[in-house]
Structure 1
């Protein structure tokens, strides 16, 4: 990211706390990323055991240390359990970043992800100093597309065979929001 961000930033919304993901969260992440409803439109490594999540947690920490990405765990303020993750998978100062997120199905349709996206987008524009934040969805992921539109993102189009994952090519829908489109009173 930049020299201003030396310690992992903790964010809060009305109902959630966004926290650093550590090995104590491995069971929460295992449960999240092995739920077929979560991963239906989100290609991930197939995890067989809880310990298989540890390299992913280490990768999150390494990427933050290298200033290339950041991933928060999402938890409700009154709980310790992570109910999801959100962050930026890539970052280029002054230009753009890619938003990624996942949430346990028990929390879908409650406005939690929209609330969290708003805080993370604000952080991206203020502290990462990006001008553009992108989000990609696989075609058919209607829930994610609705959240992005509700959060101020615009649909830009279908990118044919844009993503290559595990030997297969996938079409993706591209959404974005520019700093000048984000409400001034929030920044």
Structure 2
């Protein structure tokens, strides 16, 4: 993120003094793509991607586990496909370089997609024991409801009459 900010600031300052660099916007775009893909893989490792835990939690634990495993399998299959396709794109770009920075290979710049896809798969596999534990146990945590104070414990407490509305 610091590299991206540095590139944008240098580009801005070069335009301000009337001698803009030709490479800064292309370098900033590539940096943003890398930051986005690697940030998504990090979010996957933390289980922070969008989900519908309330829907999955509505099912009994015996059904919750197969649903959760199906979701994980579909996600991993998608990123396997993205890895393979991304690798094919990288191979097609052999010998090509960036327009403004001819010393930088497009294979290098576009490798963010297959690399991040592999990281995403690893993150999903590492989280699998936690997903299985939650599916077998009390269910998945709905972080959005927790943020506003309506977590799963809140609902069960209100049913017991211990929380007033």
TM-score, normalised to structure 1, is 0.22
Whichever of the two has the greater Rg, that structure is 2
Higher-strand-fraction structure:
1
TM-score, normalised to structure 2, is 0.24
Which of 1 and 2 has higher RCO (CA within 8 Å, sep 6+)? 2
